[in-house]
Structure 1
Amino acid sequence: MGEISEKLLLQVEEDDTDQHPCCPHGPTVLFYRQNQTHRDGFYACAAYRNPKLCAFRMDHMKWKGNQIKRVPDIRAYPQERYDEDPDPTSHLKALSQDDVHAQYFFDQQALKFIADQCCLLKIDKVVCMGAPRLHFYLRRIQKMQSFLLDFDERFSKYLSPQEFCLYNMCNNHFFYNRQPFEMFLKCNNDERILIVTDPPFGCRTELITNTLRSLKRLHNSLNQLPATPLSIFWVYPYYMANYIKQDMPELQMCDYKLNYTNHSRYTNVGNSRRSYGSPVRIFTNVPLDLLRLPLAQGYKHCDKCQRDTAIENVHCDRCRNCCSQNGQTYRHCELCDMCVKPNYVHCSNCRRCCQRVGHDCALYQSMQHCWLCGQRGHIESNCEIWSQLSRQTNQPQLKAGRCLICGQQCHRERNCPRRNRYFKESEFMGQTLIRSQNRKLVAARNKDKTRKFKKL
C-alpha cells in the first residue's frame, strides 16, 4: 500500500478488522516488519495507501479495544438526488489518484465481454465492487440486477440505497446502512450471483481476498447455505497472478485483455499503449472452459486445453498448457523445462531464464521459489534441506545443467520421477504444497530458524 506495503507485512484473518481501531475510513489494518511479531506492529489506514493522505497510526500495544467505546461510522444516505442519469461515468471526472481511488473505467468491449459472460453463465445478480461503469451498463443495456459498492460518494446522487452503498473494499466497511445490500444478496434457489471487483492495482491482495471471503460468508449466511463458493471476477494485471494465487489458489486467469478508456497504458489505443495489449486480466473461480472469448477480437479455442485463449498463445505439449500471459508467444526452454517469455535468456547461475538487462543474480535468487523444497528466498543449488538430505543419502555431487535429484538433463527437479522419494507433495485447490519426507530434518531446520529470529 504505497510507501507502507513495499516494506511491511500485514496481518489479515477472517473478519479480524472488527477488533481494530478505526480511522475516518473504517477499521484499520495491522502492519508489521518482516523481522517482527504482530505485537511490534502498528495500525494504519486500509483505504489510503499513502501515509500523507491519512496520517492515522497506532502501535499495536497501545490499542485497548475493550476499554474504548466504538461508535459505528454509519452515514445517513443523502436525501437530495439528481434525476436518473444513464451513465454519470461518461461526464464525471475520474478520481485517478493512484494512492486512493485509481478510478479507471472499462471500455465498451470490456463491458460487453463481462455482460456476455453473465448471460452465458445465467447470472441473475451482479455485485459491482469498484466497477461503477459496469454497474450502469448492466442496468441500462442488459436490464440486469446490479448493486454498486464503491468508495466514490458522488454516485449516491444518482443511485438509491437499493443500488449503491459507500464502501471500502480494503476492510469490508459499509459507510451507509448495509441492510439494502443484504436484501440484494438474498437469492431464490435458482438465482445465481457474481461479484465483479476492480480494485486499485496498488491494493494488497490479502485485503481484497479477506473481503471476498467475508462477502461469501455473508451470502451463505443470509441464504442459509453451507460453504458454497460464490462466483468471482477479479480484475487485475497478469503480473500479479502469483500474489492472487497465493491468497486465493482457486482463482485462474482468463486470457481476455481488458482495456480502460482513461488509462494511457492499459488500453489498445494511443501512442503510449503496450505493444502486446493491455496487461489487465480477469481472475475467476468459474471454470475457464465455460467462458467464451470473442474470435473477432483475436482469440481462439484450444482443443488440447479445452478453453478459449489468445490467438498468439501457442500450446506447449511439454507443459501441457497454453502458457503465455503477457500477450507474447512464449517459447519452451529445455534448461528450465518450462515456457518463458521470448526475450528472456537463460542464466546458468540462477538456473532460470530472466531479463537480459539489469539482471542481478543475488537479488533475483532471493525472490525465487526453490523447485525442491518450495520455499521462497533461494534456488535449488542453495537449498539447505536438499543439501542435508543428499548428505544423509550419500547423493553424489552432480554437474551443472542437470537435475539435482537424478542427474539427468531431460528435465528439472520439478518434474523428476524420483523426487517423491525425498519430497512429499500434495495439491489443494490448485496450490501445490511441498514437504520433505524427512520430518526430523525439517523440524530441526525450523527450530534453527526460530533461534535466529529470537537473536534478532
Structure 2
Amino acid sequence: MFDNKGDKLLLEVEDDDADPEEQHPRCEHGPTVLFYRQSQLPEQGFYACSAHRDSKLCNFHLPAEQWRGQTSRTPLPVRNYPSSYSKPRNPSIPDPTLSLKALSEDKVNAQYFFDEAALNFLANQCKSIGARKVICMGAPRLHFHLRHKLQSFLLDLDERFAEFLGPEEFCLYNMCNNHFFYNRKPFEQFLGGTSPEQLLIVTDPPFGCRTELISHTLRSLRKLHNRINQLPSTPLSIFWIYPYYSANDIRQEMPEMEMSDYSINYTNHLRYTNVGKQSRFCGSPVRLFTNVPLSLLQLPVEEGYKYCQKCDCCTANGNLHCNSCGKCPSVNGQTYRHCESCDICVKPNYVHCTNCRRCTQKEGHNCSFYQTKQRCRLCDQKGHIETKCPNFRKAKLKHTKGCLLCGKRNHREQRCAHRSKYFKELHFMGETTIQYL
C-alpha cells in the first residue's frame, strides 16, 4: 500500500509473546497495529485499529511517540458468551446465512457467501486431504455446510452467529490481530488431540485487508496448535480464499502458498461470480491459495477443469501448458500466449513494446510511466527496467539485442545461465538479495 506520494505504508503487528514494554495499545477490537511510512522510523508512525480502516467505525489513533515508554498496559476484559445463546451443538439447525442480511463494509467484515458449487468443492477438498477438523476463519457459510460432515469451528467478527452456535463451535474473533473476544478455551479444546495432517484452516478475509495481518494470524494459530499438542514448529494445511491479483502479496508473506486454478463464486456479489450481466467476462477473479500440494486437489471436470500431466495438477481447460515456461501460465481465466521477446507467457490482448522490453496493454500505454511500475530483471528492484538499471554498471551491458547479459535471443535476463558471472542471489523468507560481483 502506497500513499499519494508513492511512499510505501509499512506496519508492525504485536508479537504473540511480546513483553509488556513491547505490547501495542488496545482499542475495542484488540491490539492495534503500528503504521509508518517507508521513509519514516517506526517511532514516527501511529497506532490504529487492526480491523477498521474507517475512522467512523473505530476512531482510535495514537502517535507512536506518545505510546513509547509507557509501562502501564490495560488488557481488554474477556467478554462473556451471550448466556441466552449458549446452545448445545445441533448439526441440523438451518443455515442462518441464507436469511441474515449480509454485512457490507468491504474493509473489515464484508460478507460474500460461497455459492453451492464452491461449498461442494471446498468440502470435497477437505475429504481429499484427509482433514478431520476445519477452522472456518471468516467463512460462516462453509462452517454450516461442513458441521454435519466433520468437526468445524467458526471464527468470525459477526456476533449474530452466537444466536445459532454454542461456544464449542463459535468464537467472536478479529482475524486481523488474532484477538478472541470470548474465552478461547473451547477453541483450544477443539485444537487438542489433532495432528497437523488432520486440521485445516480455511480463511476468506475481506479483500481490502492487508495480507501481512492475515499471514501473521495464520502463523499465530499454527503456533497455538503446536503448543497445545506439544509439537515442534509444524505447518498446518491452509486454504486462503483471495483474488488472483493479490498473489504476489500473499507469496511475499507466505512463499509456500501456491494458487489453484479453481474459480470461487459468491451468491451475493455482482462481479465475483460467473452469473449475471455484470459478471466478469472470464469469471470470478477469486482463487484458492494453499500450502497443500496442488496435486492433491481434485478440480471438477464438469465445471471446466482438467488434469495436466506435465504440471501434475488440475487446471482450467483454457489454461494451456507452455513448454517454454514449463507450466500452465494463465491466472485470470484467459488462454495466455508465449512472447518470444519477453520470454514469458502474457495475456492474449497484450502487445510487445521494444522500448519497455515488455508486453503491455495497447490502449493508454505511456512508456515512462509504465517503466516506473516494472521490476528490473537484473537487480530485481521495482521502478525501472534493465536498460536503465542504476545498480548494474552499463559497461557490463555489452549486448543491445536479446539478453543483455549474453546476447542470445531465446531468453531474457531472468533465465540467463550467465547471471552467476555478474551477481550472486540470496533467497531467504521470500526475499531475494542481490550481491554484485
User: TM-score higher than 0.5 here?
Assistant: yes
1:334 — aligned with what? 340
CA distance in 2, matches of 1:131, 1:2: 29
The CA deviation at 1:422 is 1.2
- Give the corresponding residue for 1:118: 126
Amino acid at match of 1:245: R
Stretch of structure 1 that moved more, 70-79 or 11-20: 11-20
Show structure 1 runs of 5+ residues with no match: 439-456
Aligned residue for 2:145?
137
SS in 1 for 2:261: strand
Conserved? CA contact 2:202–2:240, under 8 Å: yes
Q: 2:97 aligns with which of 73, 89, 99?
A: 89
C-alpha spacing 1:135/1:426, structure 2 compared with 1 (3 Å): same
| Structure 2 CA distance for aligned equivalents of residues 311 and 352 of structure 1 | 27
Look up the SS of the partner of 2:135 in the other structure. strand
CA shift, 1:420, in A, is: 1.1
Alignment of 1:27-106 (within 5 A): 27-64=31-68, 66-81=70-85, 85-106=93-114
Q: So what's the TM-score if we normalise by structure 1? A: 0.89
The 1-side partners of 2:26 and 2:246 are apart by 29
- Following the alignment from structure 2 to structure 1, what is the Cα–Cα distance between the partners of residues 56 and 47? 15
Within a 5 Å distance, the mapping from 1:138-153 to structure 2 comes to: 138-140=146-148, 143-153=149-159
Distance in 1, matches of 2:8 and 2:343, equals 33
CA distance in 2, matches of 1:205, 1:331: 30
SS of the residue 1:300 aligns to = strand
8 Å CA contact 1:371, 1:413 repeated in 2: yes
Q: Which residue of 1 aligns with 2:284?
A: 278
> How is 1:164-203 mapped onto 2 (pairs within 5 angstroms)?
164-189=170-195, 192-203=198-209
How do 1:246-395 and structure 2 match up within 5 A? 246-387=252-393, 390-391=394-395, 395=396
Whole-Å Cα distance in 1 between the matches of residues 236 and 221 of structure 2? 9
Shift of 1:425: 3.0
**In structure 1, what residue type is equivalent to 2:29?**
H
Distance 2:359 2:68 in 1: 50
SS at match of 2:276: coil
**Aligned-CA RMSD value:** 2.2
- Structure with higher helix content: 1
**Cα deviations by residue, 1:79-110 (Å, 9 ceiling, x for unpaired):** 11297632000000000221331111000100
TM-score by length of 2: 0.93
Choose from 249, 254, 258 the match for 1:243.
249
- For 1:294, the aligned partner's letter is P
Residues 123 and 2 (structure 1), Cα distance of their counterparts in 2 relative to 1, 3 Å cut? farther
AA at the equivalent of 2:46: F
Aligned amino acid, residue 408 of structure 1 = K
1:405 alignment partner in structure 2: 405
Structure 1 letter corresponding to 2:54: N
How far does residue 295 in structure 1 lie from its aligned partner after superposition?
Answer: 0.4
Query: Cα 1:404–1:73, aligned 2, differ >3 Å: closer, same or farther?
Result: farther
- Offset at residue 365 of structure 1 (A): 2.3
1:7 Cα shift?
6.0
1:234 corresponds to 2:240: yes
CA 1:363–1:74 in structure 2 vs 1: closer, same or farther (change >3 Å)?
farther
Inter-partner Cα distance in structure 2 for 1:162 and 1:396: 64
| CA distance in 1: counterparts of 2:261 and 2:115, whole angstroms | 17
Aligned-partner Cα distance in 2 for 1:72–1:302: 51
AA in 2 matched with 1:178: R
- Partners of 1:122 and 1:208 in 2: how far apart? 24
CA 1:64 to 1:424, structure 2 compared with 1: closer, same or farther past 3 Å? Answer: closer
Q: How many residues align?
A: 429
Give CA-to-partner distance per residue, 1:42-61, whole Å, 9 cap, x none: 00111012223211100111
SS in 2 for 1:385: coil
Shift of 1:369: 1.9
Q: Deviations over 1:8-43 (max 9, x none)?
A: 221246437871101111111010112111111000
- Check if 1:20 corresponds to 2:19: no
Larger mean Cα displacement after TM superposition, 129-138 or 357-366: 357-366
Question: What amino acid is aligned across from residue 153 of structure 2 in structure 1?
Answer: F
Q: Distance in 2 between matches of 1:189 and 1:206?
A: 26
Aligned to 1:32, what secondary structure does the other structure show? strand
Tell me: CA distance 1:22–1:363, structure 2 relative to 1, closer, same or farther (3 Å). farther
1:81, 1:156 within 8 Å by CA — same for their partners in 2? yes
> Whole-Å Cα distance in 2 between the matches of residues 269 and 66 of structure 1?
54
* Alpha carbons 1:425, 1:432 under 8 Å: kept: no
Which AA in structure 1 matches 2:12? Q
Instruction: Measure the CA separation in 2 of the matches of 1:136 and 1:15.
Output: 30
Percent same amino acid at aligned positions? 60
Q: Secondary structure at the match of 1:234?
A: strand
Native 8 Å contact 2:196 2:236 kept in 1: no
